[in-house]
Amino acid sequence: MDITSTEFIASYPRESACPKDERPEFAFIGRSNVGKSSLINMLTGRKGLAKVSGTPGKTQLINFFLINHEWHLVDLPGYGYARLSKDKRRVLSNMINGYMSNRQQLVVAFVLIDSNIEPTKIDIEFVNSLGESGVPFVLVFTKSDRIGKVTLQKNIDLFMQELANTWEMLPEWFVTSSEYRTGREDILNFIDQCLKPTAAK
């Protein structure tokens, strides 16, 4: 897939306020500071599209981008940022759950996992919650350029082993580096394949 146009649409405080059109949506979500904004910028080829910040928890609304006048890229708030107030964490949790549970236009959620660290409880619990809710998703292991190949593969294997404790069929996954554009073609080709059945309807 070639991305020829990218347009920021708007930010929304809840799923019910999101666009009513039927364009297919691909959502990106992960633990705070997982490199989500950098990945979105790398995928779209627009360096400043999603705001990259050194401060985790910066995304606090549902951000919509129109890609190729055909589909929406949805930038969701990160989860698990402890420095937010309890009330704010609850608001963001409800925002995420509302979108994931109710958004019929959602084709696939890309769940970002930091490949530099071993599996975290919060990531495993979030992935399991999507499975229990029947939300279609794939995994994206980010920041692969920051560690060696052996450690990278070990951390991925550990994560998939954790899932294997409760999953009969493991989800598809990608490895990315925003620095070296690793995984860009694989993810865009995956989105392209997902769009084909939609276009055929």
Sign of CA dihedral 95, 19, 185, 129: positive
What one-character DSSP code corresponds to residue 170? P
Pairing of strands 62-67, 137-142: unpaired
The ranges assigned to domains in the chain are 6-148+172-195
Task: Quote the crossing angle between the two packed helices 184-200 and 36-44, to the nearest 10°.
Answer: 70
For every residue of 38-99, which 3-state class applies, written as one string? HHHHHHHCCCCCCCCCCCCCCCCCEEEEEECCCEEEEECCCECCCCCCHHHHHHHHHHHHHH
Name, in order, each residue with C-beta under 8 angstroms of 92's C-beta and a sequence gap of 6 or more.
60, 77, 79, 84
> Predicted confidence band at 82 (pLDDT cuts at 50, 70, 90)?
low
Helix/strand/coil for 112: strand
> 156-178 pLDDT, tens per residue?
999 999 999 999 999 999 999 99
Q: Read off φ and ψ for residue 64, nearest 5 degrees.
A: -110, 135
Helix/strand/coil for 156: helix
Topology of the domain covering 6-148+172-195: Rossmann fold (3.40.50)
> 173-198 pLDDT, tens per residue?
999 999 999 999 999 999 999 998 76
CA distances from residue 3 to 26, 70, 109, 170 in whole angstroms, order as listed:
14, 10, 19, 29
Specify the pLDDT at position 198.
Answer: 61
Per this entry, what is the length of the chain? 201
Token duo for residue 181: 């554009």
Name, in order, each residue with C-beta under 8 angstroms of 133's C-beta and a sequence gap of 6 or more.
100, 101
Which among 104, 114, 107, 46 is positioned nearest to 79, based on CA atoms? Answer: 114
> 23-76 pLDDT, tens per residue?
999 999 999 889 999 999 999 998 878 775 444 455 789 999 999 999 999 999
Which among 101, 15, 9, 11 is positioned nearest to 61, based on CA atoms? Answer: 11
Specify the pLDDT at position 87.
Answer: 86
Specify the pLDDT at position 39.
Answer: 96
Cα 201 from Cα 196, distance rounded (Å)? 9
